């Protein structure tokens, strides 16, 4: 394939939005090594397998294809600099970041959205790349929003949420799910709603932080799940899908009238807001298959856009 076609093919591949990872291991002298990659994918839940590819021109090709263990670090929205460090030729990349050793003796990058400590399961020859298939031995999710990559540029879905505001009165809500349960708040009329707060003079992120502090829970927003206008009340609602870390600890809620409910119970729960009721029904369906979408519209009608299949 000529150079122009290669460039066009790379641009076409870049139309697929991905996350950003740093793949880490050690060389034969037990020195930490790593590279930035967006060619990461889950493969299997049972057994727990994942894959990532490495360019055969990489100076660390032999180290990664012959190692016993490697780690995948999914970068958070705040880690653009870390991505750039591991995408460049820098003598001591690990001196520029915070990291620690895993139980298997490979580097784990601090503040990542999630990490997977893997035994090398298989190496597959694939053209100008080699595919590393890892068997997950340990993992952890911090439930923070991941750093996105699209057509050669980074994007940060949560941090860009301020640009979604189109109304003077904005209500931010947190749809918090963990282990088959979600947080709902009992209203004064006996109906239920999500933990919510008007933005007012605060930013969206400050409002979400306030909500989490009121709940006294370590949930973090992942992405916008629904944006709709309540034209009758002249309000705009922005709902964030939030998650808890894998090691969540206590699930006790400090906010008054806030409780955890099973997802099955949400379908029959008395929810006065018909737009919220419709959204919660959609969430229950989408959670069952692990495939989420985003709603744009008003309290009566709108469009649902799928993230990915």
Confidence (pLDDT) at 309: 37
CA atoms within 13 A on the CB side of 174: 32
9-23, 200-214, 230-244, range with the lowest pLDDT: 9-23
Confidence (pLDDT) at 161: 61
Confidence (pLDDT) at 110: 96
Q: 3-13 pLDDT, tens per residue?
A: 767 767 777 77
Average predicted confidence (pLDDT) for the chain: 86
**Whether pLDDT at 196 is above 80:** yes
Confidence (pLDDT) at 164: 60
Confidence (pLDDT) at 5: 76
Across 31-60, average pLDDT: 94
Q: 57-105 pLDDT, tens per residue?
A: 999 999 999 999 999 999 998 899 999 999 988 889 999 999 999 999 9
Q: 208-233 pLDDT, tens per residue?
A: 888 888 988 888 877 788 888 887 77
Proportion of the chain above pLDDT 70, given as a percent:
89
Q: 135-188 pLDDT, tens per residue?
A: 999 999 887 888 888 666 777 666 556 556 666 788 999 999 888 899 999 999
**Whether pLDDT at 246 is above 80:** no
| DSSP bridge partners of 76 | 146
Confidence (pLDDT) at 158: 61
**Whether pLDDT at 234 is above 80:** yes
Confidence (pLDDT) at 162: 57
Confidence (pLDDT) at 248: 64
Confidence (pLDDT) at 225: 86
Residues 204, 210 contacting (CB under 8 angstroms):
no
pTM of the predicted protein model: 0.67
Proportion of the chain above pLDDT 90, given as a percent:
49
Confidence (pLDDT) at 157: 61
**Whether pLDDT at 308 is above 50:** no
Across 107-117, average pLDDT: 95
**Dihedral of alpha carbons 268, 271, 272, 278, sign:** negative
């Amino acid at each position: 394939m000529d150079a122009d076609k290669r460039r066009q093919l790379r641009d076409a591949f870049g139309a697929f939005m991905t996350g950003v990872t740093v793949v880490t291991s050690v060389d034969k002298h037990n020195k930490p090594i790593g590279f930035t990659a967006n060619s990461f994918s889950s493969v299997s839940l049972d057994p727990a397998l994942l894959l990532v590819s490495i360019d055969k021109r990489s100076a660390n090709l032999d180290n990664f294809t012959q190692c016993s263990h490697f780690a995948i670090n999914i970068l958070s929205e705040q880690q653009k600099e870390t991505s750039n460090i591991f995408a460049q030729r820098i003598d001591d990349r690990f001196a520029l970041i915070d990291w620690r050793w895993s139980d298997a003796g490979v580097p784990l990058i601090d503040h990542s959205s999630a990490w997977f400590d893997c035994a090398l399961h298989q190496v597959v020859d694939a053209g100008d790349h080699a595919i590393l298939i890892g068997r997950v031995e340990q993992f952890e999710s911090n439930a923070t929003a991941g750093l996105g990559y699209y057509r050669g540029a980074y994007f940060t879905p949560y941090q860009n949420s301020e640009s979604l505001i189109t109304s003077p009165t904005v209500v931010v809500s947190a749809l918090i799910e963990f282990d088959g349960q979600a947080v709902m708040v009992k209203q004064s009329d006996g109906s239920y709603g999500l933990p919510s707060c008007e933005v007012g003079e605060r930013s969206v992120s400050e409002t979400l932080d306030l909500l989490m502090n009121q709940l006294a829970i370590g949930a973090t927003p992942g992405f916008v799940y629904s944006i709709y206008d309540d034209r009758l009340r002249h309000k705009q609602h922005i709902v964030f899908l939030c998650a808890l870390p894998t090691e969540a600890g206590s699930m006790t809620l400090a906010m008054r009238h806030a409780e955890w409910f099973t997802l099955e119970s949400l379908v029959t729960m008395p929810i006065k807001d018909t737009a919220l009721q419709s959204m919660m029904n959609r969430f229950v369906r989408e959670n069952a298959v692990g495939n989420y979408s985003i709603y744009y519209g008003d309290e009566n009608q709108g469009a649902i856009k799928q993230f990915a299949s």
